[in-house]
Amino acid sequence: MINLLDAEAVFAVLGPFAMAFTLVLARVVGLMATTPLLSSPLIPNPIKAALAGVLAVFVTFKLHPAPPAVDLNALSLAGVLLGELIIGAVMGLAVTVAFGALHFCGQMIGIQMGFAVANVVDPSTFQQVGVIAQVLNLLGIMLFLVFDGHLLILRAFFESYGIVPLAMTDPQVGAIIDEIIRQSGHLFETGLRIALPVVCVVLLVNVGLATIARTVPQVNIFVIGFLVTISLGLLVLGFSVPATAIVFEKVIEDAIRGSIRVTKMF
């Protein structure tokens, strides 16, 4: 009669499941460590751990990813876990780049409008950022949820197991670096596109104020300059929010496609 408490028998039954769950959990942790919202310090660590565990269990039961067919020693297992962690982290990093574009745009607009010395603490990173950058970051988080960006990144994460099975990583380092550089360059391009209306208007306002200062020296341009620049800058920024939403939606979709492209390089 088989002893149900036999350790070897129990490990033979649960060992493959435990191995698959551990590898899935490593990829989930990598994703959550770099994905916007999920990596926020405002979310308590116990909740993050519980969410990662629930997501790993769901992936393990839903997709049934196959564990490695060969036995792994401690060193090989550490390497496999690191590879799974890197896959998840790179996928989340591709989405974080999209928020970097908004941050870059906000910093540029803030400097042009005269908010260079006015910084606030970003509640998602606990670091000082410009006022306009913080407003655009919050707008980006809201749009990310409205556009179901969190569901799209989870869908791409599920698809990653069909692209890169567990413990089957073979990274093309050069191609991955080139893709990351390309996405980083796209960050500055997107930030400039979003900031262009406000920057152009503020530039024209500064040219007009400079002309007035040269033709009518009695006018205190320094006093009225901040009022006019900030007022018109905020007005144009408000009118450009619908266009910003359209651009940002496309950026999120491109970022998720980019995360899938990067996954194919492993």
Report the distance separating Cα 216 and Cα 218, nearest Å. Answer: 5
What are the distances in angstroms from CA 32 to CA 109, 153, 264? Answer: 30, 11, 20
pLDDT of residue 2: 46
pLDDT along the chain (266 residues), means of 10: 47 62 82 79 81 83 63 68 81 80 81 67 58 80 82 82 73 72 76 83 82 76 77 82 82 79 74
Residue carrying the six token digits 């745009």: 105
User: For the whole model, what pTM was predicted?
Assistant: 0.73
Q: What six digits make up the tokens of 59?
A: 């992936």
- For residues 166 and 23, is the Cβ–Cβ distance under 8 A? yes
What are the distances in angstroms from CA 75 to CA 72, 173, 259? Answer: 8, 21, 28
- For residues 195 and 108, is the Cβ–Cβ distance under 8 A? yes
Q: Which residues pair with 62 in a beta bridge?
A: none
Report the distance separating Cα 12 and Cα 16, nearest Å. Answer: 7
